[in-house]
Amino acid sequence: MDGSDDITARPAPDIANAWRKIRHVFIRDLIIEAQIGVWEKEKTARQRIRVNVDLGVEDRDDHLDRIENVVCYHEVIKGIRAIIAGGHIHLAETLAEEIARMALADSRVSSARIRVEKLDIVADAASVGVEIERIRPL
């Protein structure tokens, strides 16, 4: 599979919520190479993965056009890249959990839905992977 198919993720439903004062911060279709997998051929080479992130974020009135007052998707992407740069990851599930844990470390994030897809590992499929959702404990 050459990965040229234009398959995009659908937005997670109903994360933004005016009544609960929740903002939806998202990252769509981040394509990055990672050393991920349990099979021998996956342990010796990097492969393309697609990461989608949906965060439920406290919608505060103090954002007033100041980057330091919002959850910055550039910082979330830097965090994802740092996790991947940390070395070989056996499972897509592990990577998804690490990304969720990193996102929820920001006290403004109340929920994290993470999808990790391997794009080139199964010839007959556009992608294979996992999606998880985690919430901040009360």
For 94-130, give the DSSP string: HHHHHHHHHHHTSTTEEEEEEEEEESSSSTTSS-EEE
Q: What is the pLDDT of residues 58-108, one digit of tens each?
A: 887 766 677 888 899 999 999 999 999 999 999 999 999 999 999 999 999
Distances (CA, A) of 138 to 75, 88, 107, 116, 135: 25, 33, 12, 26, 9
Cβ contacts of 59 within 8 Å, gap of 6 or more:
18, 21, 22, 23
pLDDT of residue 119: 97
pLDDT tier for residue 38 given thresholds of 50, 70 and 90? very high
Sheet architecture: strand order including 128-135: 22-34, 47-58, 109-118, 128-135
pLDDT of residue 112: 97
pLDDT of residue 12: 52
Name the token pair of 125.
Answer: 């499929």
Q: Which domains does the chain have, with CATH numbers?
A: 22-135 (3.30.1130.10)
pTM of the model: 0.86
pLDDT of residue 7: 43
Q: State the residue for tokens 């007033």.
A: 64
Q: In angstroms, rounded to a whole number, what is the distance separating the alpha carbons of residues 123 and 104?
A: 34
Question: Is the model's pLDDT at 114 over the cut of 90?
Answer: yes
What's the whole-number mean pLDDT along residues 38-57? 94
